[in-house]
Structure 1
Amino acid sequence: MRIPKSKLAVDDLDHSNRVGSRAETSKELINSLESILNSVQLSDLHRLQKKVRKFASSLEAPTKEESLTREFHQVFERLLEELKKSADKCQLRSKLIPEVQSYPSQLPVSAKACEIAELIRNNQVVVVAGDTGSGKTTQLPKICLDAGLGRRGMIGHTQPRRLAALSVATRIADELGPVAGRGVGSQVRFDDRSGPETYLKLMTDGILLAEIQADRYLSKYEAIIIDEAHERSLNIDFLLGFLRDLIRKRSDLKLIITSATIDVEKFSAHFCGAPIVSVEGRTFPVEVRYKPVLQPEESSRNDDAQTEAIISAIKEILQHDRYSNKNTGDILVFLPTEREIRDTATSLRKAKLGDLDVLPLYGRLQHAEQARIFAAHNTRRVVLATNVAETSITVPGINYVVDTGTARISRYSLQSKVQRLPIEAISQASANQRKGRCGRIANGICIRLYSEQDFDSRPLYTDPEIQRTNLAAVILRMLQLKLGDVENFPFIEMPETKAVNEGHKLLIELNAITASRALTSLGRQMAALPIDPRYARMLLESHKLNCLREVLIIVSGLSIQDPRESNSENKQIAIERQAEYKHPDSDFMSLVKLWDAYEALRQGSSQAMLRKYCKEHFLSFMRMREWREVHRQLLLA
């Protein structure tokens, strides 16, 4: 379907210039300037309005017919040129935007494009609730363009994950074509691909939060889309609270919040009853089959039991297709960790299940590997993914899902004062999101590797991150972003008072804040480091004590999962192979010894040699690489 483009607000500037050049009265001069003000970038509007008002006040005189001095005409010409320069930037973006937007007819959101565009025109905030596969992530930016947005300022589109931001930007640019696609930019940490032509900018929610520090009004944006708001990450809750206050100050800013059909009324209520538009997912009937993995007491090798259950589920799907005499799509398997993805991939390739292409999908996957997920293919695929494929990324061609029912979820313990990443059972909402990933191209099957009784006993929703994170880090981040006190911030759901008090207490002990809860100079330095406040304090103190090198290695190592791997089968041999890293006095110094040994080898070895070394010494190659990445980030911070 196609929708005509809204009439462009930017008028022909040549006419305004002619009016300015022959203006003989102060009123004509001011009118010619104000006519262009409606066409300048929103980021320039406040500054240019002040200049025009100042110029107008300087022209006030007792007699309107009083001749204007040469000096006033020079000031006018300079101001007119500045206004035109800003308006020209709007025209630059406008020329790239297609005259009409086209929407894929197979996506459910396309049928509601006109309705959503009208809601956006008539309301400052709109909540779009859509099932997975409805097309809301890729089509909403185009609907915003049809609503007349993207000319005087960018459309900002946030994603919870780096992988999603980059892949969605690529997808939208491809849909818009080679010319219009030039206006689609993206920004993730250490990688900014936006410029003067950008009218749509995909970014992680952390990038938008960081921009608040430099521009409290987010004046570069004419509209902001907060995607996947139901995930309720800390960054999303920060943005929703900040934007609730900002829209009261900026009536020209449009806000679109997208969510899976999970508790959307909370978002509407948070923004004073914002209208909700629902879009159904594109799906065929999905049959749910429960195939519980054997419990530990029934199997001495629980990891192997899960892998065997996955292989069995895939065999069941292949057999189903053989009986129906057709191949009805690819298979998506949800696993909690990268390590399990790698191990399962190895087992699947050894299982000789036929002509299957096994692909991994997780947040830190390299770009070339990511591209394979979306590339055209003839071979049937099995995609092994973390929960990044639950909502953020739509993998094309999926018709079957195998769900292990677990995910790695960050959780802070008030007792141990440690932020952990345990593997936990997912909520019913997450399980249903996973189920919604299949049945896209034919009748689908979702095989859950847990019992129906287990599913029914699970919580309905995943706790918002604000309720399961270290509040010290939250408070420090809020003070750095100048978002105010935790107690007064408009969170959708307030964190527990006990956790807030514990957070303040820890920050005072670390000398990050004063007793009156003001950020100290040390606290500012700690906030700049992307790690737990205690680790940040360790780094700053080590610099004074001339042991920064060692502590940097230790802190970066503690910030990731332990790269040393072993299980009940190989524990003894792993201990023997890793004995060379053992320090007699300190487990922390053992990390330093491991780092030094690996770094000495890395600098003169190929990647294949490093992988072989890691395998022989029971080390995770991916974790060792992540350790180096965190170390480098902290070194540059």
Structure 2
Amino acid sequence: MCKQEYLNFLRIREWQDIYTQLRTVAKQMGIHLNEEDAADDHVHLSLLAGLLSHIGMKDVKESKDSGATGRKDGGRNEYLGARNAKFALFPGSALFKKPPRFVMSAELVETSRLWARVNAKIEPEWVEPLAEHLLKRTYSEPHWEKDQAAVMAYEKVTLYGVPIVAQRKVNYGRIDPEISRELFIRNALVEGDWRTHHKFYADNRRLLTEVEELEHRARRRDIMVDDETLYDFYDQRIPEHVVSGAHFDSWWKHKRHDQPDFLDFEREMLIRESAEAVTKADYPDSWRQGQLKFRVTYQFEPGADADGVTVHVPLQVLNQVTDEGFDWQIPGLREEVVTELIRSLPKPIRRNYVPAPNFAKAFLERAVPLQEPLTVTMARELKRMVGVPFEAEDFDWSRVPEHLRVTFRIVDERRRKVAEDKDLEALKLRLRPKARQALSQAAAATAQRQGGESLERKGLTDWTIGSLTRVFETRRAGQPVKAYPALVDDGDTVSVRLFDTEAEQAEAMWKGTRRLILLSIPVNPAKFASEKLTNPQKLALSANPHGSVQALFDDCAMAAADRLIADFGGPVWDEESYRKLYDKVRAEIVDTTVRAVGQVQQVLAAWQACERRLKGVRSPALLPNLQDVRGQLDALVRPGFVTEAGLRRLPDLMRYLVAADRRLQQMPANVQRDTTRMAKVHEMRDEYAWLLEQLPQGRPVPQQVRDIRWMVEELRVSYFAHALGTAYPVSDKRIVKAIDAAVP
């Protein structure tokens, strides 16, 4: 059989002898043999116990180098063996074409190179249990892991230099307790990288957060003690055997019953001695303005838009917030603000207030905060200290660093940012549509909660809303919401809307009431007035800035309605009062409109005479003067001028036009005098324009300010047609005084 199968007879006899010996030994030891053949892996595992020095790991680096040099086998069969020996699989091996990662060899024969013969594939995990006494272990990269609550490291296991395990994560506490304890204290307790429910831990982290927040608020990095101080605190109290979260839990379970505050921080130990004067009271969490309370946050990030103090203003109360008091800043930053304002003064004044920090501190000791604008208080108190006179306007806010000015962040009911800016009035103007929408939603939610009809309405042509409240109040997200409902003129109909301020409410209510009355009057007063005029009169009225006679009549009717509503005590806020007002206005509006048309006819005649005379003067030397008259005429007589001026002011309007006509007559003969007086008028006009710029944009202009516009017209009469007389004493000084009184 051996001859026919080409087998070596002596090798077969050797195998038979070994097999017989093994069966005999097994029988003596009481081991029962399997009925079935053993798996290949089990056989290899048994052989591995005697061939530990004949294992090899595929040399990946050598394979790449061999491939680069063009070797025939590409270095695929290169293996790293015991004691840095390198061998290759014998070409006759069954594993030669598909070399595994780890192999063991029955024999290593060196001819042209070191060859491994009679090979088998093995797994590296088989080696460790068999060669425990021969293995070498090294550890690297000890680090804290929060999920394990322990210090872990990477273990490398080698057998005769062959890596069996390259990078296995193991608990480092049993390997190096000293390093593990240090890492546990630093990472888990000092840095807070630990998930635990211990009360002392939560209290300590909360206290640390408060002190860190105080650093942000005070814009300092030297308030809280360093990590070494915290480490020393724990190091002195925690036993040597505590190297992980599990060890700590076991120790603390008994220790906390005896000394529950053993590991508690004290606030004093966390703050450096040099920063003990810094207190949380100087950096409050909220800001109060009347009944409103706003959340305050702090950000220490130079260059960021919100660097410094940020006040969070809910969108639904934006209409109630004013910038009053915010210029004083929070107490902790107030001294810096005052110092920077002193430094912003012009040099001739500033040199009397050096060093600025000393004067800032002295000012704050005697000033009462938040009673008036900061610059007004500073100007008064600093003058008392030194005696050098200057005004509040001499301070330059643009030279104060951005982080010392409050940032206003507008948020919705879920505290999500809507917009932010350091200019509160600019935010109000930009967010007015959203603020009104928020008020509308608040009103709708209140009506739904109370089971009533919504306060806001549309499409009204008669008073069907019962009584209209003057102030709408409710609460949303813990804040008092306030709005001012009013009728709104929509043209063909009237609606009820909510407004931010009483001034807007008053303006809208007047126009809305006027429109509602005109819609309800069965006879159109403008149409009735036009029917009473002759064709020559209509022709005379056709030359008007409105574009048509009917538009002019509508303007007169609206002005007549305004006159009657004012005479009869309007506008009104309930249905009964509205009916009474409506009856009185309806009875007289037609006659009042007819009289208004008669007055307007005279005004337009004077306007047309001015226009003709203006076109007749063509001297190039008078061009600036003529342009001034043109601007005056365009401002006095324009579409809607009757309602804008009001019927009571039509005689004055007539006088202004006659004065302009006389000025045009005298202008060619007195060019120099006309130019000089025109310059004074322009100066007052510019002052008035400056006043309008100081008013909140998008808000109604107060009557007190609108009257100044007519004072400028009276000044023109006194300069260019003094014989006509003025309605009241007027001069440029009186106008300046009125402007100063009207500055907000």
Which TM-score applies when normalising by structure 1? 0.23
Q: Which has the higher contact order (CA 8 A, sep 6+)?
A: 1
**Larger-Rg structure:** 2
Which TM-score applies when normalising by structure 2? 0.21
